[in-house]
């Protein structure tokens, strides 16, 4: 009998050759029903996988991220089978699961239309009902090449040819369809019941513009129909909240052909920006940060010294001054290090917390530009902390606390990832190990659950990334903490220690917003343009009922502005109901109606955005006090 160690540490005995499905059934009927795959010694396997030795096993269920990924990957194969049934001359590219579902790339003379997607989806449902089992078989490299060459699947052949000679290759068959795949998959197509094809897009084979453009069909799949309905609802809601659409409607920013990827901020957008920056400055000042400003263009030698020339050159812009090469900065950190070196530092000066709202430029391909979310110039809310090695833990925890305080103000939940050394990196192994362990220790000291993200660190150090979750359950990477032993070495940064000798400081690179532009896009979509009062470009609009009430409306605006409230009057010759609708469309927090009664009582009738039952009357001073309180407390209308 084999001894199987389960996730909870308990032991099970099974006969050699028993499958993961049989193991799950032996544990409980409920687990067998929910099971979709299994993790065997840290490798995910099909439920049909036979156990041949003592191993550790975790049964993966449908309601886990890993289970959903298996379900979606299997649905991608179902899509490919349906497409080849309907369009037999189609050649197959690749079809992975992705965060929102799955896709498959096809090379076909036929151009797929929305009507085709409906037809393909119908065929997928038919194949699902036929309950074809997903059968795995392993092939040598030569066997795999021969198999897919016979079927004229040139893209699969290319993938196989890139694999090592001695690799064992797997293929999965369902019905009469076979695909090259490492797996795992569900037991049978009958497990795939809730799916929808979304759209078709073009995609270069293997992501290279030198290759042929294929047709990529996107789809999504879920375990429950209710989850699909919720996803489709949120997609429609996301379209309504699109920051590009709302940014134009609310007159916040614009994008122009004269500067692709270089956004123009309008007066109202600048108010929003300035409020975010003012909040940043106040909160950082409280925590001992000092603000600096460094140049946008710096000599090439600086970027060679920092490592950006070797590791980041393809993302940089260049110019010449006096026949010498200069770079437009893609990051703020080298300038901060030059500032550090302007004087001799003592251990008593550390930690030094230096912040910069620095404008950076990065060369992004035109195809990936997307509103304010992906631009070519943006302002990073950078800070660099120079510290003693003994201060690392305390400083990392301080940044974690600051990030948490910021995100609570905006109403964001978040999750944390720890990213480790990438292949393209610099520095000694022991420095990387020390830095990674320091980040891990700080997270564990705070009791924060985190996901390990191997190989995704910066080229100079490991990092903690904060992924905020918005009101539509989408996640966005914003804040980051990067621990760096390399840059102080590269720039020969030193401090004089208690022993009178020079020592090397350690530094933290960190952002909270990530970039002001991207954070604004996130806020627009999170709040659907209905900003909390403290952020709203116009906080109060006064709506006179008729022209004879204009003087009183101006008086109300004057009194509110004296309280530093952003107020304006709508003096257009329109009916007041029209003005109310306009204020609602522009998502202004407070609309104040003034007529004869209000002028006589020195009051206003208040309508709050999003509150249909509002319309109560209050004095101007009470209204000002309410607005000021909301601004001070940064309260939200959740």
Give the active site residue among 116, 382, 470, 484. Answer: 382
Rounded Cα–Cα distance for residues 40 and 51 (Å) = 9
- Strands annotated E in 227-376: 253-254, 264-265, 289-291, 297-299, 317-321, 324-328, 352-361
How many residues would you count in the chain? 638
- Show the tokens assigned to 305: 């010294």
Start-end of H helices in 318-471: 333-340, 392-410, 429-445
Give the active site residue among 241, 509, 510, 526. Answer: 509
Give the active site residue among 156, 329, 353, 384. Answer: 384
Secondary structure letter of residue 507 according to DSSP: E
Which single residue is written with the structure tokens 């900003």? 531
Left if phi > 0, otherwise alpha if psi is -120 to 50, otherwise beta: which for 193? Answer: alpha
Give the active site residue among 72, 284, 463, 526. Answer: 463
Is 333 among the catalytic positions? yes
Rounded Cα–Cα distance for residues 321 and 324 (Å) = 5
Is 463 among the catalytic positions? yes
Is 384 among the catalytic positions? yes
Is 380 among the catalytic positions? yes
- Strands annotated E in 420-566: 450-453, 463-469, 475-484, 495-496, 502-503, 506-511, 540-544
Reduce the DSSP state of residue 298 to 3 states and report it.
strand
Is 311 among the catalytic positions? no
Give the active site residue among 174, 380, 482, 486. Answer: 380
Rounded Cα–Cα distance for residues 436 and 406 (Å) = 24
Burial class (CB in 10 A: 0-12, 13-18, 19+), 247: buried
Is 234 among the catalytic positions? no
Give the active site residue among 77, 345, 362, 421. Answer: 362
Identify the CA nearest to 491 among candidates 386, 399, 382, 420: 386
Phi/psi of residue 257, nearest 5 degrees: -60, -25
Is 308 among the catalytic positions? no
Reduce the DSSP state of residue 638 to 3 states and report it.
coil
Which single residue is written with the structure tokens 């601004």? 631
Distance, CA of 361 to chain centre? 20
Rounded Cα–Cα distance for residues 94 and 259 (Å) = 35
Which helix (H) or strand (E) is 383 found in, with range? Answer: strand 377-387
Q: For the residues of 186-252, what is the DSSP string, one character each?
A: -SBGGG--EEEEEEEEEEEGGG-TTSPEEEEEEEEEESSHHHHHHHHHHHHHHHHH-HHHHHHHTT-
- Show the tokens assigned to 334: 């080298």
Q: Which residues are catalytic?
A: 333, 362, 380, 382, 384, 463, 509
């Amino acid at each position: 009998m084999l001894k199987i160690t389960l996730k909870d540490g308990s032991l099970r005995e099974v006969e050699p050759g028993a499958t993961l499905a049989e193991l799950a059934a032996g544990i409980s009927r409920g687990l067998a029903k929910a099971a979709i795959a299994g993790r065997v010694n840290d490798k995910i396997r099909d439920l049909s996988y036979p156990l041949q030795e003592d191993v550790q096993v975790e049964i993966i269920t449908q309601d886990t991220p890993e289970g959903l990924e298996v379900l979606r990957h299997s649905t991608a194969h179902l899509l490919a089978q349906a497409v080849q049934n309907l369009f037999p001359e189609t050649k197959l590219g690749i079809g992975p699961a992705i965060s929102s579902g799955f896709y498959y790339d096809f090379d076909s003379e036929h151009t797929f239309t929305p009507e085709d997607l409906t037809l393909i989806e119908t065929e997928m449902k038919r194949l699902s009902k036929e309950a074809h089992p997903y059968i795995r078989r392993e092939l040598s490299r030569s066997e795999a090449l021969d198999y897919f060459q016979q079927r004229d699947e040139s893209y699969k052949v290319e993938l196989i040819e890139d694999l090592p000679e001695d690799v064992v290759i797997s293929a999965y068959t369902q019905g009469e369809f076979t695909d090259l795949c490492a797996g795992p998959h569900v037991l049978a197509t009958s497990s795939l019941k809730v799916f929808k094809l979304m759209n078709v897009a073009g995609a270069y084979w293997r992501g290279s513009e030198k290759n042929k453009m294929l047709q990529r069909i996107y789809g999504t799949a879920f375990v429950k129909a209710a989850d699909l309905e919720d996803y489709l609802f949120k997609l429609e809601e996301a379209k309504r909240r699109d920051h590009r659409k709302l940014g134009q409607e609310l007159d916040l920013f614009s994008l122009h052909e004269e500067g692709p990827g270089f956004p123009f901020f309008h007066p109202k957008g600048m108010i929003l920006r300035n409020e975010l920056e003012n909040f940043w400055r106040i909160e950082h000042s409280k925590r001992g940060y000092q603000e600096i400003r460094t140049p946008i263009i710096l000599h090439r030698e600086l970027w060679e010294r920092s490592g950006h020339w070797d590791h980041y050159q393809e993302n940089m812009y260049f110019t010449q001054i006096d026949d010498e090469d200069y770079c437009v900065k893609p990051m703020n950190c080298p300038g901060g290090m030059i500032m550090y070196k302007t004087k001799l530092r003592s251990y008593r000066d550390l930690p030094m917390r230096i912040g910069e709202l620095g404008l950076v430029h990065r060369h992004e391909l035109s195809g990936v530009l997307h509103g304010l979310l992906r631009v070519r110039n943006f302002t990073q809310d950078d800070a660099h902390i120079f510290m003693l090695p003994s201060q690392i833990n305390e400083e990392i925890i301080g940044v974690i606390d600051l990030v948490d305080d910021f995100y609570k103000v905006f109403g964001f939940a978040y999750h944390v990832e720890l990213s480790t050394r990438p292949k393209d990196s610099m520095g000694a192994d022991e420095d990387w190990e020390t830095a990674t362990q320091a980040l891990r220790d700080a997270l564990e000291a705070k009791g924060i659950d985190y996901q390990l993200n191997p190989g995704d660190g910066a080229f100079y150090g490991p990092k903690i990334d904060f992924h905020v979750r918005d009101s539509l359950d989408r996640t966005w990477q914003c804040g980051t903490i990067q621990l760096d032993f390399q840059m102080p070495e590269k720039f020969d940064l030193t401090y004089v220690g208690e022993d009178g000798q020079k020592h090397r400081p350690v530094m933290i690179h960190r952002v909270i917003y990530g970039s002001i532009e991207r954070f604004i896009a996130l806020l627009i979509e999170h709040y659907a343009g209905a900003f909390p009062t403290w952020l709203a470009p116009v906080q109060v609009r006064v709506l006179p009922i008729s022209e004879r009430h204009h003087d009183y409306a101006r008086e109300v605006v004057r009194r509110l502005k004296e309280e530093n409230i952003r107020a304006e009057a709508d003096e257009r010759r329109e009916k007041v109901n029209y003005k109310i609708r306009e204020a609602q469309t522009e998502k202004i927090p407070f609309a104040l109606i003034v007529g004869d009664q209000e002028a006589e009582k020195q009051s206003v009738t208040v309508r709050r955005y999003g509150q249909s039952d509002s319309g109560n009357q209050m004095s101007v001073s009470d209204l000002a006090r309410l607005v000021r309180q909301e601004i001070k407390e940064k309260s939200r209308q959740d």
